[in-house]
Amino acid sequence: MKKLFVSVPMRGRTEEAIRASIEKMKKIAEICEGEALELIDTYIEDNPPENIPNQGVWYLAKSLEMLAEADVFIGIDDSWNWKGCEAENSIASAYGIKNYRIRAEYVIDNYNALLNSVCEEAVPTNL
C-alpha cells in the first residue's frame, strides 16, 4: 500500500482541528489516487528540548523524517503563509514525490480567521 504524507498548518490550531483536516486531505488524496492509502501520522506530540532556540525548525526536521517514507504527498496550495508547509511542499516536489495541492479553505474550518490571527502575529508592533 502506498504511504501518504499530509502537510497541514498546525500553529494556532487544536489537535482535533488538525486531525480533521488531515482526514479530509487523506480522502481527497485517495480519490485522486483511486485507491486506499496508508496515512503517515504527521501530528508531532513531542515537544522540542528547552535549549532549542528555533522550535519550528525542530518540528520541521521531524516531519521531514516522515516525508522520506512517503509515496504520495498532499499539501495546501497557499502554503506561503506557513513556513513548514511551504518547505514540505518544496521538498516533496524537488525530490519527485507524487504530490497534490488543495486550497486551504476546503480543508480547514475558519481558515480566513486563522490566517488573520497568524498574520497579526507576524506584523511588528513597534513600527
For 11-39, write each residue's pLDDT tens digit: 778 899 999 999 999 999 999 999 999 99
State the Cα–Cα distance between residues 12 and 114, nearest whole angstrom: 7
One-letter identity of residue 48: P
State the Cα–Cα distance between residues 97 and 124, nearest whole angstrom: 37
What would you report as the CA-atom Rg of the chain, rounded to the nearest whole angstrom? 15
Share of the chain above pLDDT 70, in %: 83
For the chain, the average pLDDT equals 85
63 or 79: whose pLDDT is higher? 63
CB 55 within 8 A of CB 66: no
State the Cα–Cα distance between residues 117 and 60, nearest whole angstrom: 21
CB atoms within 10 A of CB 70: 24
